[in-house]
Amino acid sequence: MAGEQAFKAVVNGTVDHRAYSVDITGANYNHFLGKKIGDSVDGMFVGDGDQTLTGYKLQITGGSDVTGRPMRPDLDGAGVKSVLVSPGVGYKGKRYVKKNAKEYVYKYDGIRRRRNLRGNIISQDTRQINLKVVEAGKRSLPVIFGLEEEAAAETPSDEEE
């Protein structure tokens, strides 16, 4: 394949409940190959330079491939499988019906569909990885990604007087 391989990592913060997007390339890309959904990884492999999540422990919660197919934790392997699924990961379980020039949404009990879904192992076809913070590091996520200023340690406070 031409071009450099890369993942888009989406890190979900536990304290501020925000999602942060980071590119994973180079040697860090190879570290993620072969990992499964539910595995824990060290934060030093996520990000480049000053935006590395050193000190963080992250858990892989999901992802998607080149075409947008979601990864499903209960499917073994890295390939695409055609699965009969009920509402959950990869299928919302709604049926859209047009009646009298209006569109109605129905949710039936027991509705199932056959969907093509990706397995739970990260491969070269994976383009997005979802990560959850399990253990936080010393610096907060907004400070690492430049959304907040880091508090200066040298500034005297009013309590010291």
The per-residue pLDDT for range 98-141, each reduced to its tens digit, is 999 999 988 888 888 899 999 999 999 999 999 999 998 888 88
Single out the residue of 30, 19, 38 nearest to residue 126, CA to CA.
30
Assess if residue 122 is contained within a domain.
yes
Assess if residue 152 is contained within a domain.
no
Q: How many domains does the structure of the chain reveal? A: 1
Assess if residue 30 is contained within a domain.
yes
Assess if residue 133 is contained within a domain.
yes
Please name the residue ranges forming H helices in 1-126: 27-32
Q: Is 29 helix (H, G, I), strand (E, B) or coil?
A: helix
Assess if residue 41 is contained within a domain.
yes
Assess if residue 70 is contained within a domain.
yes
pLDDT of residue 95 exceeding 90: no
Confidence bin at 148 (pLDDT 50/70/90)? confident
pLDDT, residue 77, reads 92
Find the domain containing 35 and state its range.
6-75+118-147
Q: Is 49 helix (H, G, I), strand (E, B) or coil?
A: helix
Assess if residue 89 is contained within a domain.
no
Could you tell me which residues are beta bridge partners of residue 112? none
Single out the residue of 74, 149, 60 nearest to residue 117, CA to CA.
74
Cα gap 161→147, rounded to integer Å: 31
Assess if residue 36 is contained within a domain.
yes
Q: What percentage of the chain carries pLDDT values higher than 90? A: 42
Beta strands in 31-94 (DSSP E): 40-42, 57-65, 80-85
Please name the residue ranges forming H helices in the chain: 27-32, 141-144
